[in-house]
Amino acid sequence: MRALIVIDMQNDFVQQGGALYFTGAERVIAPVIDLVKNAIDNSDAIITTQDWHDIDDVEFTLWPRHCVKNTIGAQIVEPLKTHLAGYEKYFAVHKNRYSAFYGTNLDELLRKLSVKQVDVCGVVTHICVLFTVEELRNRGIDVRVHEKATASYDSDLHRFAIRMMKEILGAEVVP
């Protein structure tokens, strides 16, 4: 089975005024929605990851406070949430580290669904996207990264991460 993993498309990252919003982040919303529509049309599984932190999470020693559990900032952006509502093959994964595998049920979920191929999109390319793709490839899962549906606050690191995923991890990068 194929799955679409949508990484951290949350208000704190992609909506103006969000705690870690960066200029241009909202540009990936439309391409992500297109991927979601396609996945639904193909009856693929769709998995969203959400940063989901305690108020005193250790990550806040590195980053400003963001995506605190059950806050508006931690919620999936509204247009995406609307498209996922009621889809029977939609699953949410809450995480508190860069990789969507660390301390979550993602590995178990992918095995249960017999996922062998994954499309990936979301933010931030050189952080949560990269570390999740690395873990997917470690598990022998074929990965397609949709570059137009990923974004970073640093264009050099975005390009670096895309190269790493393609050249080192062996992911297919779709322009």
Please write the tens of the pLDDT for every residue from 99-142: 999 999 999 999 999 999 999 999 999 999 999 999 999 999 99
CA 7 to chain centre: 1
Q: What is the CATH number of the domain that holds 132?
A: 3.40.50.850
91 Cβ contact partners less than 8 Å away, ≥ 6 residues apart: 45, 46, 47, 48, 109
Give the count of domains, the chain. 1
Looking at the DSSP bridge assignments, the partners of residue 150 are 122
Please write the tens of the pLDDT for every residue from 51-75: 999 999 999 999 999 999 999 999 9
With CA atoms as reference, report the closest residue to 132 among 56, 47, 12, 67.
47
**Domain span holding position 105:** 2-174
pTM score over 0.85: yes
